[in-house]
Amino acid sequence: MTSLPPFDWDIFCAVVDNFGDIGVTWRLARQLQQEAGGTGVRLWVDDLASFARICPGLDPALDGQWQQGVYVQRWHDDLPAEAIPARVVIEAFACTLPAPFIQRMATQSPAPCWINLEYLSAEAWVEDCHGLASPQRVGNHSLDKYFFFPGFTQKTGGLLCERGLIVERERWQQDEAGLDVYWASLDLPPKEESELRVSLFTYESAALRSLVASWCQGATPVTLLLPLGRSLNDVLTGAGLADAIPTARAGDLLRSGSLAIKLLPMTDQAGYDRLLWSCDLNLVRGEDSFVRAQWAARPFLWHIYPQDDEAHIAKLDDFLDHYLADLPAECGQWLRDFSHALNHGLDVGELWAQWPRYGAIWQQHGGAWSQKLLAGGDLVTRLVKFLESRI
């Protein structure tokens, strides 16, 4: 086996819900490798098969491999003997580091800086907990673990946003000829002036059936870009195309009334960004696609991960309190009602009917919101600044 260089960053990710956690940590790993300097990033992942869905060059059969400048290490119960902890060790989303790895961290001098990267939240208490240290006793040694909270205010860790992303997005959205080429790559004609193009990547929701039915029955042509996934059954049922569910394949173009549905394969992260940038409305889920929809500066609806006690609805409202604050009150209330209906699985037909009234206001708000989020710097910038006095 070829010996590995010392690493500046170790990131541990336990894959949950297929793409959410690994989507965020894969973006983080690449951005650290490209922008934070040093000798490299090692990403530990326990489910390489799911990871390969968003990183097509990844070989799930290999225990260790380089991908886009990042060393990807399969996370086994047994720790490789040669695995020396990096200067900074990040446990993503409260995954539990292997005990032998923690022991190796404790015996290093100086000890690595240990970061617990938390889930993104707009809740008010996050500002008070961001950056706090939690002393950890490891045998005869003591380590501090720091809690780092991504968030929407300058008192949090911010959001992942690669250097140059906003400039690239603006160039893409202003290039009409380039957009025509993009649509052609998906076997679609150029977008008509009166047409809406919508991307949809959500969980299951009965609300989708009424939304899709509204698109079918409306006067406005809608083309729905639908990556194959959990929402397929609700979408095709709402369109009256339930018979097509068993045979639906990526590349299919299905029609029902004013709606055309283009089924897409899973794409890599850069491809998903371009899809979001190209659409007039994006319905997204979880954390990674939720954040990328905000950088797209286009209208979006967030289908938050559902929890049994409906705690997710309170978290949704905490985000909406930030997101809607600068919108006219009437438009803001419409968007809050729409978001609640989607997340409660309610009929959204009457809410969608208000799109002509509020869509342009919502569109304008998207650009201002993305600029506001970057006022205190992106997540990697804030993380490096946080670490400067600790390593």
Q: Which residues are known to be catalytic?
A: 21, 287
CA distance 143 to 275: 43
CA distance 25 to 288: 9
CA distance 385 to 369: 24
In contact, 73 and 44? CB cutoff 8 Å:
yes
CB atoms within 10 A of CB 253: 12
Handedness of CA 46, 48, 49, 52 (dihedral sign): positive
CA distance 185 to 260: 17
CA distance 318 to 320: 6
DSSP state of 125: T
Which residues pair with residue 365 across a beta bridge? none
Q: Tell me which amino acid residue 143 is.
A: L
CA distance 54 to 21: 12
CA distances from 206 to 95, 148, 341 (A): 32, 35, 10
**H or E element: which one contains 101?**
helix 99-107
Which of 130, 173, 44, 121 shows the shortest CA–CA distance to 290?
Answer: 121
State the chain's maximal CA–CA distance in angstroms: 71
CA 66 to chain CA centroid, nearest Å: 23
Which residues pair with residue 135 across a beta bridge? 144
CA distances from 347 to 315, 337, 341, 344 (A): 22, 11, 7, 9
Whose tokens are 């710097």? That residue is 377
Which of 261, 252, 201 shows the shortest CA–CA distance to 53?
Answer: 201
